[in-house]
Structure 1
Amino acid sequence: MFELNRRDLLAAGAAGVGLSMLPRLAAADGCVFPPEGSIGYRVLREGDEIGQHIATFKRRGDDLIAINDIEIVVKMLGIPVYRYEHRSEEVWKKGWLTAVESTTNKDGKKKSLRGERRDEAMRLVVNGEKNRSVSGYVVTTSLWHRDTPFEQGLMDIEDGEVKLIKGQLVARETVPVGNGEVEARHYSVTGEMARELWYDDRCRLVRVEFNTKKDGSRIILEPMAET
């Protein structure tokens, strides 16, 4: 049961919305971030491929840059009935999110988010005009970060809203990755965002499963090739 109280969590922040105060770092097996490089995921809806998600990680000096590109098209009888495009870039320094930028086109509805860390909080501009602050240690809903299931709240990568969650370890499992398999820890996340997440021993996200709110269809992200 999801029991986290929104009022208690929001009251904890010194400015704007407050999340946990310190990064966990090395939450699993001694790794902090995924290794440099790209991981391509197939996006499946009820078993049919509807798009791709490419996650890229690179170093720039002391910074880690995490880039996510997603393109999805759902078709019925060969006719597109839903489109989703998203690109985000996160800059992490010494374990903290220090800058973020994203653009999203959800079936014609566009969103943009831009922010940087100042005075111990992420200062955000939403759709070019709406200002918002999220204080404390911030992890986004982009899911790649290994701390995701350990947080009480995640900052929405599309609009900066905080989603309250609760995560728990399910089991250590073997999951398919392209033409191979990998051992991974399976976490179940519930609350204002529900996801099943698998991370391997190198802090890489190797599988995602969830049901859409719109029609309940099952969505799966799986690596396109062995990572």
Structure 2
Amino acid sequence: MRRAVLATILVVTGAATTAATGDFPYGSTHSFNVYRNGQQIGSHTLSFQGNGQQRTVATSIDFAVRALGLTVYRYSHRGNEVWNGSTLQSIDTKTDDNGKQFTMRARHDGNRLAVERKGADVAFGTSLNDQGLQRNDAVVEALPPTVLPSTHWNLNQVKQSMLLNTQYGTPSKVQITNLGRQTIKTSSRSIEATHYRYAGDITMDQWFDDRGRWVKAAFKAFDGSEIEYILQE
């Protein structure tokens, strides 16, 4: 998707404790309503399956921006991850960004992450994580096997200096600042969370609670509008 995420060492006790225990913090689904300048435009849902070391994570994102009764922008993203413990085994994604089609797939292959990407022409550096392909044919690239995908939910991403952009299949260099503890609101309550700010190829704000769950996000879209994710629980 156009957003994607994260890097620096955890220093907050609650979040660090969750990561250290290895307890998986999510239930079967984890869903956000997404707002643009205060108006709901869609949803972002994660679905988790598996037990122990084996796990799959499915991502479903749908946005539609309307003006004067017409849909002026539409975004759809589908992804599927396969994990063995903390090691990404594979990821496949398909994105429709207002008519521009992107696909990417990555496989853990010994000492590398083999990535294949394909997409329409997009300009580099136009907005949040808008670093795309300059051609329509498939491109294959080898990345370090420890690179994590920018799928937002994984607290271990905050330890990374590079992430795999899951819309374009390109590496994204990132830096994160820990802004400390804040109280954020979900759909039903207020909770304590740790606030991280991302810079570099990804610019956004993200919050994780003491269980290690992704609980909020905020960023500016390509047109300067304010996007906010509100956890539904």
2:30 is matched with 39
Matched letter for residue 220 of structure 1: E
Q: Could you tell me how far 1:129 is from its partner in structure 2?
A: 3.0
1:149 is paired with a residue whose SS is helix
Q: Name the aligned partner's letter for residue 81 of structure 1.
A: V
Distance 2:76 2:168 in 1: 14
TM-score normalised by the chain length of structure 2: 0.80
**Partner SS state of residue 159, structure 1:** coil
Distance in 2 (CA, whole Å) between partners of 1:160 and 1:121 is 15
The residue matched to 1:147 in structure 2 has which SS?
Answer: helix
Match of 2:90 in 1: 99
Q: How far does residue 27 in structure 1 lie from its aligned partner after superposition?
A: 6.4
For 1:204, the equivalent position in structure 2 comes to 213
Q: Provide the residue aligned with 2:115 in structure 1.
A: 124
More deviation, 111-120/30-39: 30-39
Where structure 2 has 5 or more consecutive residues not aligned to the other structure, the ranges are 1-6, 8-13, 119-136
Which residue identity does 1:34 align to in structure 2? P
Instruction: Write the distance in 1 (CA, Å) between the matches of 2:164 and 2:25.
Output: 20
Partner of 2:176: 167
> SS of the counterpart of 2:101?
strand
**Equivalent of residue 186 in structure 2, options 141, 164, 177:** 177
Q: Which amino acid aligns with 2:161?
A: Q
Query: What is the correspondence of 1:24-63 to structure 2 with a 5 Å cutoff?
Result: 28-31=16-19, 32=22, 33-59=24-50, 62-63=53-54
Q: CA deviation at 1:29?
A: 1.8
Instruction: Give the match's secondary structure for 2:18.
Output: coil
Residues 1:150 and 2:138 are matched in the alignment: no
Dislocated runs of 4+, deviation >4 Å: none
Amino acid at match of 2:189: G
1:69 to 54, 60, 66: 60
Deviation, 1:94, is 2.2
2:198 alignment counterpart? 189
1:178: Cα distance to partner? 0.9
* In structure 2, C-alpha distance between the alignment counterparts of 1:148 and 1:195, rounded to whole Å: 14
Q: Which has the higher contact order (CA 8 A, sep 6+)?
A: 2
Deviation of 1:147 (Å): 2.0
Q: Contact 1:27–1:147 at 8 Å: present in 2 too?
A: no
Contact 1:113 1:160 in 2 (8 A): yes
1:120 positional shift? 1.7
CA distance in 1, matches of 2:203, 2:150: 11
Q: CA separation in 2, counterparts of 1:198 and 1:107?
A: 28
Displacement of 1:55: 1.0
What is the SS of the residue equivalent to 1:29?
Answer: helix
Task: Note the alpha carbon deviations across 1:55-76, whole angstroms, 9 max, x for none.
Answer: 1122156312111100000011
1:35 positional shift? 2.4
Sequence identity (%):
26
Structure 1 residue runs without a partner (length 5+):
1-19, 21-25
CA distance in 2 between counterparts of 1:148 and 1:189 reads 11
Q: Equivalent residue for 2:69?
A: 78
Q: Is the 8 A contact 1:140 1:157 kept in 2?
A: yes
What is the TM-score of this pair, normalised by structure 1?
0.83
Does 1:218 find its partner at 2:226? yes
CA drift at 1:114? 1.4
Q: Which amino acid aligns with 1:111?
A: F
